[in-house]
């Protein structure tokens, strides 16, 4: 896979000047925002659902060990197997082991962000397995050898012309020689090509949107039906899921299902909601002979104990990406790993190490839109601020920034000095910017003023205005 | 392979408990969270709501007076598409009279199948969905492999909400089936430039035969 290279600022610079990417982002983000808003407006219970979802997740997290053990016992009772992976490497080894034991050659995959997180495809391919992504978006980026740029629509950055070229390159050897220009033709061709693989597959790997403790079931939701073909036609079905995805009951799952599609794609519901419980029964005519669940921890159990516990409520809907002014300007690849946008800026340093991805939490404007649309009410801006605080206290913040912040803190905590400096500075800025009404250059702030102008202050300081106002009211 | 599995389990559970400030399992059984999630309210007839929601999601629908009319309705549908006169029919619908000229097959779906006909366990009005359970007479490949999926729904099977579906499943006394499929229209994708295209991997057409007896 072509992993994103360079530093975050370098990747951002490339993304902002990539006209095709900008066109794709503009086209996509507005649509998701409007469709979600329409669904929310049509459901008076939406706010109550969010609150209930938050409460259910907090309840589960407080008893996570108990619910996972209950879930495990039910899966086993239904004839399935549960595997626990403390980290990405354990997860890879467990899945490799299952594939070896199944004597597998072809592996089909439904969309799974956990499998992206643990870098599964590269490991399976290195062992000689033929791995085929079946979600159309995942299939496209697999052909392009790129990571997903969005957790729900992984190929959102690709135009149809680019998809046409990719299909030319990869489908021609299979006998598909016509160059395609229409979306309908492309979907049809991918359908035909992927059909071959579904019926040939030995192992089918899917994600798990929700794990149900009371029944030992896993739930996936898709629009394409690819997850169902993947898990029904292969001999072995492997579910990969984060340990935080367990919910107590089937009824609890409904709360999340009602939030998920509306928040993710602005649909009332996805086309297919599938509840899977164990392998093929003795008198079944189809379905997998083996059913495995790989529960992936990979940093989650550590998050449970600290200030980032709330991040474990995330149901991976992508609403925070769609509503983020930074994500919608730079796309997913600039973030450098599989989880982009606000949720990714929290998860990436937490999973990969706080000394990784320094820029991500700092690229947030703290505008708060992500929190306001999050279906499980995760205070994302607060969590990003907490990562910044930890970066500062562990010495990760660069020297210049540290010094500036220390000077600022020193001044801001001393009111007389602060006021004196403001009374000096504000009129100065006012005079400097009087002619044009704005300042296009400031000493030591070129990084800010290079790309935008600072409106020149008008009149006195805030403190002066406040004092005058209080005086007038008395 | 057994060793790392056990190690992972112990490691994960130990870290969870450490994060929760415990050294072992919780001393008392878990008390379920009181209350339940809100259920979206709606007014009007449950069956009409189901019909409207399914049509909204690109399914097609024909109303029939009785089960005896299903055979002819399937033949009409196939002629209209048009599709080959061969259908893969769920064993649960074996009693239906099929018009001559229509080849009827049972069993799990095969690659070459164009059309399937299945019953459903229930249907849900709330946001629109038909619900099938996997079983010896209802292989779940029938729902996904053919281009055309025809579903026989009795009006009395339509439930208001998904909570009612779980209640009906529990009341049926059957064990949890391997697969519960909730299907809300034909297969679709918007993965290329957000252009909605039907028939991504699953059926291109979902046709409901609603029996209003």
Give the tens place of pLDDT for each residue, A175-209.
Answer: 999 999 999 999 999 999 999 999 999 999 999 99
Please choose, from the candidates A453, A106, A297, A362, the residue with its C-alpha nearest in 3D space to the C-alpha of residue B19.
A297
B187·A64 Cβ contact <8 A? no
CB-based burial, B190-200: b 16+ in 10 Å, e otherwise? bbbbbeebbbb
Q: Tell the CATH superfamily of the B60-188+196-202 domain.
A: NagB/RpiA/CoA transferase-like (3.40.50.10420)
Contact A25, A256 (CB under 8 A): no
Q: How far is CA A45 from the centre of its chain?
A: 25
Cα-trace Rg, chain A: 25
Nearest chain A residue to B34 by CA: give it. Answer: A56
Q: Cβ B144–A158 below 8 Å, yes or no?
A: no
> Which residue carries 């281009």 as its tokens?
B147
CA-CA-CA-CA dihedral for B162, B166, B171, B174, to nearest 10: 130
Single out the residue of A248, A266, A154, A267 nearest to residue A210, CA to CA. Answer: A248
Give CA–CA dist B213/B135, Å, rounded: 26
Q: Which tens digit of pLDDT belongs to each residue from A267-313?
A: 999 999 999 999 999 999 999 999 999 999 999 999 999 999 999 99
* H/E element, A198: helix A183-200
A397-418 b/e with 16+ CB inside 10 Å = b?
A: beeeeeeeeeeeeeeeeeeeeb
Task: Using CB atoms, pick whichever of A59, A271, A297 lies closest to residue B33.
Answer: A59
Task: Report the number of secondary-structure helices (H) and strands (E) in chain B.
Answer: 4, 12
Residue with tokens 């495990």: A72
Q: Is B127 helix (H, G, I), strand (E, B) or coil?
A: coil
* pTM of the predicted model over 0.90: yes
Residue A201 structure tokens: 């597959």
Where would I find the beta strands (DSSP E) of A201-360? Answer: 203-206, 210-212, 217-222, 236-242, 246-247, 272-276, 290-296
Q: How far apart are CA A33 and CA A230, in angstroms?
A: 31
Instruction: Round to whole Å and give the CA distance between A376 and A53.
Output: 6
Q: How far apart are CA A437 and CA A442, in angstroms?
A: 14
Q: Where are the domains of chain B?
A: 60-188+196-202
Largest separation between any pair of C-alpha atoms in chain A:
86
- Which residues does chain B have within 8 Å of residue A94's beta carbon, measured at their own beta carbons? 1, 4-5, 8
Nearest beta carbon to residue A83 from set B5, B15, B176: B5
Pairwise CB contact (< 8 Å): B188 & A223: yes
Q: How far is CA B187 from CA A164, A229, B183, in A?
A: 22, 12, 9
Task: Say whether residue A83 is in contact with chain B using an 8 A CB cutoff.
Answer: yes
**Residue in B92, B143, B149, B200 to test binding to A, most A beta-carbons within 10 Å:** B200
Find the Cα–Cα–Cα–Cα dihedral A343, A214, B19, B31, rounded to 10°: 120
The answer to whether the CB atoms of B178 and A228 lie below 8 A apart is no
CB contact under 8 A, B16 and A304: yes
Distance from CA of B162 to the nearest CA of A (A): 7
A41 shares contact with chain B (CB less than 8 Å): no
CA dist., res. A209 & res. A241, Å (int): 8
Six token digits for residue A120: 């599964």
pLDDT at A302: 97
Place of tokens 């021609």: A172
- CB distance A277–B1 less than 8 Å? no
> Mapped to the 3 state alphabet, what secondary structure does A35-98 carry?
HHHHHHHCCCCHHHHHHHHHHHHHHHHHCHHHHHHHHHHHHHHCCCEEEEECCHHHHHHHHHHH
What domains lie within chain A, and their CATH numbers? 8-300 (3.40.50.10420), 402-473 (no CATH)
Give the DSSP H/E element, type plus range, for residue B180.
strand B179-183
In chain A, what residues touch B5 (CB-CB under 8 Å)?
83-84, 94
pLDDT of residue A30: 82
Instruction: Find residues 141-200 of chain A whose CB sits inside 8 Å of chain B.
Output: 153-156, 158-160, 163, 183-184, 186-188, 191, 194-195, 198-199
Q: Locate the chain A residue with the closest alpha carbon to B165.
A: A251
> Tokens 């490691």 belong to which residue?
B11
Q: DSSP characters for B141-179?
A: GGGTSSSEEEEEEEGGGEESSHHHHHHHHHHTTPPPPSE
Which of chain A's residues have a Cβ under 8 Å away from the Cβ of B39?
Answer: 45
**pLDDT tens per residue, chain B (213 residues)?**
444 445 899 999 999 999 999 999 988 889 999 999 999 999 999 999 999 999 999 999 999 999 999 999 999 999 999 999 999 999 999 889 999 999 999 999 999 999 999 999 999 999 999 999 999 999 999 999 999 999 999 999 999 999 999 999 999 999 999 999 999 999 999 999 999 999 999 999 999 999 997
Instruction: Please report which confidence band the pLDDT of residue A48 belongs to, taking 50, 70 and 90 as the band edges.
Output: very high
Is some CB atom of chain B closer than 8 A to the CB atom of A215?
A: yes
> Which of B36, B53, B192 is the closest to A251 by Cβ?
B36
Q: Chain A closest CA to B142's CA: distance in Å?
A: 10
Q: Could you report the per-residue pLDDT of B30-54, keeping only the tens digit for each?
A: 999 999 999 999 999 999 999 999 9
């Amino acid at each position: 896979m072509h992993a994103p290279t360079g530093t975050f600022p370098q990747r951002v610079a490339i993304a902002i000047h990539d006209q095709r990417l900008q066109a794709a982002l503009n086209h996509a983000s507005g649509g998701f925002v409007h469709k979600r808003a329409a669904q929310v407006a049509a459901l008076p219970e939406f706010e109550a659902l969010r609150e209930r979802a938050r409460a259910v997740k907090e309840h589960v997290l407080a008893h996570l060990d108990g619910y996972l053990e209950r879930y495990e016992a039910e899966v086993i009772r239904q004839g399935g197997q549960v595997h626990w992976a403390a980290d990405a490497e354990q997860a890879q080894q467990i899945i490799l082991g299952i594939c070896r034991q199944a004597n597998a050659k072809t592996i089909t995959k439904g969309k799974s962000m956990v499998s992206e997180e643990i870098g599964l495809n590269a490991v399976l391919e290195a062992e000689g397995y033929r791995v085929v992504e079946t979600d159309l978006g995942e299939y496209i980026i697999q052909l392009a050898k790129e990571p997903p740029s969005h957790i729900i629509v992984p190929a959102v950055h690709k135009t149809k012309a680019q998809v046409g070229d990719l299909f030319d390159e990869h489908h021609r050897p299979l006998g598909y020689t016509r160059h395609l220009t229409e979306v309908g033709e492309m979907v049809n061709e991918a359908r035909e090509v992927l059909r071959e693989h579904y019926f040939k597959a030995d192992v089918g790997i899917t994600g798990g949107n929700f794990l149900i403790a009371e029944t030992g079931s896993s739930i996936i939701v898709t629009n394409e039906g690819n997850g169902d073909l993947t898990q029904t036609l292969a001999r072995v079905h492997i579910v990969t899921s984060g340990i935080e995805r367990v919910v107590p009951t089937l009824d609890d799952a409904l709360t999340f299902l009602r939030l998920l599609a509306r928040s993710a794609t602005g649909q009332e519901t996805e086309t297919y909601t599938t509840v899977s419980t164990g392998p093929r029964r003795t008198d079944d005519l189809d379905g997998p002979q083996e059913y495995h669940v790989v529960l992936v921890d990979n940093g989650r159990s550590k998050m449970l104990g600290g200030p980032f516990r709330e991040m474990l409520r995330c149901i991976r809907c992508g609403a925070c990406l769609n509503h983020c002014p930074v994500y919608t300007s730079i796309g997913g690849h600039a973030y450098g790993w599989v989880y982009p946008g606000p949720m990714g800026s929290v998860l990436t340093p937490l999973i990969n190490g706080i000394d990784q991805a320094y820029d991500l939490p700092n690229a947030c404007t703290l505008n708060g839109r992500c929190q306001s649309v999050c279906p499980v009410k995760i205070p994302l801006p607060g969590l990003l601020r907490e990562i910044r605080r930890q970066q500062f206290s562990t010495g990760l913040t660069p020297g210049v920034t540290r010094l500036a912040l220390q000077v600022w803190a020193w001044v801001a905590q001393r009111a007389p000095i602060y006021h004196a400096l403001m009374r000096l500075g504000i009129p100065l800025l006012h005079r400097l910017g009087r002619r044009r009404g704005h300042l296009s250059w400031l000493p030591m702030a070129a990084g800010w003023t290079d790309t935008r102008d600072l409106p020149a202050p008008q009149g006195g300081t805030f403190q002066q205005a406040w004092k005058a106002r209080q005086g007038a009211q008395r | 392979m057994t060793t790392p599995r056990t190690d992972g389990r112990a490691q994960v559970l130990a870290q969870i408990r450490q994060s929760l400030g415990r050294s072992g399992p919780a001393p008392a059984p878990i008390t379920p969270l009181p209350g339940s999630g809100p259920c979206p309210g709606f007014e009007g007839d449950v069956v009409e709501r189901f019909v409207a929601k399914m049509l909204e999601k690109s399914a097609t629908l024909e109303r029939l007076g009785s089960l005896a009319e299903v055979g002819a309705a399937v033949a009409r549908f196939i002629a209209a598409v048009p599709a080959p006169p061969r259908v893969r029919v769920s064993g649960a619908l074996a009693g239906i009279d099929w018009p001559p000229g229509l080849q009827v097959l049972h069993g799990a779906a095969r690659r070459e199948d164009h059309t399937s006909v299945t019953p459903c366990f229930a249907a849900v009005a709330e946001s629109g969905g038909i619900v099938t359970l996997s079983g010896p007479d209802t292989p779940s490949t029938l729902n996904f492999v053919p281009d055309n999926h025809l579903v026989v729904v009795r009006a009395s099977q339509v439930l208001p909400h998904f909570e009612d579906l779980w209640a009906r499943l529990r009341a049926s006394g059957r064990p949890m089936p391997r697969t519960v499929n909730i299907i809300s229209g034909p297969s679709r994708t918007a993965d290329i430039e957000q252009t909605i295209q039907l028939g991504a991997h699953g059926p291109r057409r979902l046709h409901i035969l609603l029996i209003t007896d």
